[in-house]
Amino acid sequence: MAEQIRFVDRQWLDANFPCMSACPVHTEAGRYVALVEEGRYQEAYRVARRPNPFASICGRICAAPCEPACRRGSLDSPIGIRALKRFVCERFGVESMVDLEKLREVFGTSVTKNGLKVAVVGGGPAGLSCAHDLALLGYEVTVFEAQSVAGGMLRLGIPEYRLPRELIRLEINAILSLGVELRPNVAIGRDFTLTDLKEEGYRAVFVAIGAHRSRDLQIEGVQHDGVLRAVDFLLNVNLGYRVELGSRVIVIGGGNVAIDTARTAARLEKAEAKHVTDVTEALDVARSAVRFGAKEVHMVCLEDWSEMPASREEVHDALEERVQIHTRRGPGRIVARDGKVVGLETVQCTSVFDSAGRFNPQFAPNTEETIDADTVIMAIGQMSDLTWVRPEDGLELTARNTIKVDPQTLATSAPGIFAGGDVSFGPRNAIDAIANGKNAAQSIHAYLSGERRPRGDVTVGNGDVEIIVADTRSYKRAWGYERLAHVPVPALPIERRIGLAQIELGYTEDQARLESSRCLHCWENTVFNEGGEETGSECILCGGCVDICPETCIDLVALDRIEADETLAAEIAGQFDVVIAGETASAIGAVMIKDEALCIRCGLCALRCPVGCITMEGYTVSVKPAIE
């Protein structure tokens, strides 16, 4: 019989749900991975989609903070969680051309409008996620977007070979199908103000305009022709405009944006014919058919290989695509002839950070080297354009040129105005922006409805955790699952990576089932019952569980070998009928000790126990947003 309980030990939560704890939107990744293993793909999609309105997109480009947290990684390699999300989304997500009305079934509820209007300024992942959740709560939501298309940096910053434009359009359409209104080509400060929104009857505003301004280098030569900013370059490319690069390109920077810029510049020209369904899309395709490319692409970054902020996977792919990366080199000056760039002078960087960990690069004298170039693209960071903020708006800004917010509620200094995403926290991953949008929706709902849900003793991010426990005496794992090797995600061969061809191809069904079967099932727990009347049996101290454990993570220790300080002794005495060594000369018995970090949830100890004192219990987690 399942029992619903609430746990108060965050360490326990992290140990049993590490992937979910690491996910900014608290996706129960382990659960959908296990469902893939069982072939229950539609249920897996529901688990993946319910907390994330951009599940299909995240299945392709998410930074996947869940994977470094995956306990399987301590054994060999983490589970391919992101690729498995893409696998189920391709079968039941928006890219499967599912009826958008069926998305309501994912949430198991119909939406009743409450008549309250909310404005969302910015149609990126943060703004659209907020609009999605507010629409499900019954609000009339309008999204104001400065560009001609919604999606923010998903649409304007991420190259199409990583994220197909059609997928973005379908994901956004699913959100709009909930009754969200989108107004493109309107910018705050240019076409309207916060005061205008209030006068139009909007009861609350969420500002999520992103960080679309590139930071500039203060070096000689940045004013010459041939010097571009990475965000501007990617924006023009992703809108289908032609960008003349020449044959030699240098990208300055060591982050993921720099990698995207370098890999985009390196792609060869190739026009493709595509079937289109309307005139607007036909024009987009016609513009996109004008490809661009460079024969030689260099990246210059201050950091060494271990310090580069770009992900290891992105760096590996860039090197495969013949991008030449120069580490520990900094930009000295841009060399020009007749006002046109001809090269970049670099200098050796001896250190990037000082002893306190602050960014403070130091350079070695007389180490100048020049790399020839036709174009230099600066990818050294982004910032938000906040020139629209007026004194009467009442918005407090930070020294980092971001909108100051309460980190828990995302409320600004102005009543009814909330902000999130890059405009409040600086450039981060898309999944962090999505989490901000969902958090803002709950805060706005609490602000407008007057509801206040107190936090529980344990929270994950902005949510209370409810645990459902179910006894699983029939628990069994496939033989040899702990020895299975990680299944790499299939990728397009190097020689075929041209134009807009997608590089990552995704798992086949057999590959997905095999990879998911590697999961350690962290939510399944070994429970050592005390015995007696409750279980009908009593531990006989046979040690069979210790002998059979393949990871040697269980030990049976005599009481006279146990020592504890006052705090631990009091904690043990308060929960268990145990006598600690030294308290009495006649102490008898034993203590069962288990190292949860080493346990691979094989269940052999439960199978081996001759009297049934050991069972396996599975947990299902529900995270409910909490507002203080």
- Please state which of the four CATH numbers 3.30.70, 3.30.160, 1.10.540, 3.30.40 is assigned to the domain occupying 526-625: 3.30.70
Q: Given this model, what pLDDT does residue 131 score?
A: 96
| Whether 271 contacts 289, CB under 8 Å | yes
- Residue 96 has what DSSP assignment? G
Residues 221 and 350: their CA atoms lie apart, in Å, by 23
Res. 301: pLDDT tops 70: yes
Residues 205 and 126: their CA atoms lie apart, in Å, by 13
Return the higher-pLDDT residue of 263 and 406.
406
Q: For residue 99, what are the contacts with CB-CB under 8 A and spacing of at least 6?
A: none
Q: Report residue 590: phi and psi, to 5°.
A: -150, 165
Residue ranges in 349-476 assigned as alpha helix (H) = 422-425, 430-449
Question: Could you report the per-residue pLDDT of 197-207, keeping only the tens digit for each?
Answer: 999 999 999 99
Residues 15 and 160: their CA atoms lie apart, in Å, by 37
Residues 509 and 528: their CA atoms lie apart, in Å, by 37
Amino acid at 455: R
What is the average per-residue pLDDT within 312-340?
87
Average pLDDT, the chain: 81
Collapsed DSSP state (helix, strand, coil) of residue 141: strand
Residues 469 and 523: their CA atoms lie apart, in Å, by 10
Q: How many helices and strands (H and E) does the chain possess? A: 22, 23
What is the average per-residue pLDDT within 480-496?
85
Place 140 in a pLDDT band, splitting at 50, 70 and 90.
very high
Within this chain, domains 111-212+384-449 and 214-383 share the same CATH topology: yes
Q: Given this model, what pLDDT does residue 96 score?
A: 80
Res. 50: pLDDT tops 80: yes
Question: Could you report the per-residue pLDDT of 412-422, keeping only the tens digit for each?
Answer: 999 999 999 99
Q: Report residue 179: phi and psi, to 5°.
A: 105, 10
Q: For residue 473, what are the contacts with CB-CB under 8 A and spacing of at least 6?
A: 606, 615, 616
Q: How is the chain split into domains, by residue range? A: 111-212+384-449, 214-383, 526-625
| Whether 247 contacts 395, CB under 8 Å | no
Place 288 in a pLDDT band, splitting at 50, 70 and 90.
very low
Q: Given this model, what pLDDT does residue 457 score?
A: 37
Collapsed DSSP state (helix, strand, coil) of residue 447: helix
Residues 213 and 211: their CA atoms lie apart, in Å, by 6
| Whether 254 contacts 299, CB under 8 Å | yes
Q: Given this model, what pLDDT does residue 431 score?
A: 93
Res. 389: pLDDT tops 90: yes
Structure tokens at 131: 């609009």
Return the higher-pLDDT residue of 184 and 451.
184
What is the average per-residue pLDDT within 338-350?
92
Q: What is the CA radius of gyration of the chain?
A: 28
Residues 370 and 346: their CA atoms lie apart, in Å, by 6
Q: Report residue 71: phi and psi, to 5°.
A: -70, -20
Amino acid at 25: V
Place 150 in a pLDDT band, splitting at 50, 70 and 90.
very high
What is the pTM for the complete model shown? Answer: 0.81
Question: Could you report the per-residue pLDDT of 81-136, keeping only the tens digit for each?
Answer: 999 999 999 999 888 865 555 566 665 556 788 889 999 999 999 999 999 999 99
Least confident of 209-213, 496-500, 510-514: 496-500
Q: What share of the chain is helix, strand, coil (3-state, %, to 5)?
A: 35, 20, 45
Structure tokens at 18: 């590490």
CA angle 66, 67, 70 (to 5 degrees): 90
Q: Given this model, what pLDDT does residue 628 score?
A: 39
Res. 471: pLDDT tops 70: no
Q: Given this model, what pLDDT does residue 461 score?
A: 42
Q: Given this model, what pLDDT does residue 560 score?
A: 66
Architecture field, domain 214-383:
3-Layer(bba) Sandwich (3.50)
What is the average per-residue pLDDT within 134-142?
94
Amino acid at 486: H
Amino acid at 526: T
Residues 79 and 66: their CA atoms lie apart, in Å, by 9
Nearest to 281 by CA among 166, 199, 389, 422: 166
Helix or strand run (H / E) with residue 37: helix 29-37
What is the average per-residue pLDDT within 68-76?
89
| Whether 98 contacts 88, CB under 8 Å | no
The CA distances from residue 166 to 61, 169, 218, in Å, are: 15, 5, 39
Least confident of 128-137, 147-156, 538-547: 538-547
Residues 391 and 381: their CA atoms lie apart, in Å, by 27
| Whether 251 contacts 300, CB under 8 Å | yes
Question: Could you report the per-residue pLDDT of 360-382, keeping only the tens digit for each?
Answer: 889 999 999 999 998 898 888 88
Q: How far is CA 439 from the centre of its chain?
A: 15
Query: How do 614-625 and 463-471 pair as beta strands?
Result: antiparallel
What is the average per-residue pLDDT within 332-351?
92
- Please state which of the four CATH numbers 2.60.40.10, 3.90.1150.10, 3.50.50.60, 3.40.47.10 is assigned to the domain occupying 111-212+384-449: 3.50.50.60
